[in-house]
Amino acid sequence: MTVTQFVIASAVLFSIGVYGVLVRRSAVMVLMSVELILNSVNINLVAFGALHDNIAGEVFALFVITVAAAEVGVGLALVLLIFRNRKNINIHEVDLMKG
């Protein structure tokens, strides 16, 4: 069981998440792609923690999960507010602060 395969799987997952963030237009879908990215980071943390026989990797993965939960809560609240004001959640149309 080498660490390389876990890191490669995590890299693929990260790339898929980045593609989702770049391409999808619905704000909810962008948030879900961000979740994919955070999960790939978690795989990395756990893999290197196991490689170094260090529990810190798991601790940080736990913290990442907690921050992701907070981020989703606030992010979805913002999405709801945008929907309430504009009747859609297309992030390309939210350009009020565009310079």
* Residues contributing to the site for another protein (CB under 8 A): 1-9, 11-20, 22-26, 28-29, 31-33, 35-36, 39, 42-43, 46-47, 49-56, 58-59, 61-63, 65-74, 76-81, 83, 88-90, 92
How far apart CA 48 and CA 68 sit, in angstroms, is: 20
Closest C-alpha among 86, 85, 35 to residue 64: 35
> Min. distance of Cβ 96 from another protein in angstroms?
16
> Min. distance of Cβ 22 from another protein in angstroms?
4
How far apart CA 42 and CA 65 sit, in angstroms, is: 8
* 74 or 96: CB nearest another protein: 74
Q: Calculate the dihedral angle through the C-alpha atoms of 96, 71, 85, 28, rounding to the nearest 10 degrees.
A: 100
* 4 or 97: CB nearest another protein: 4
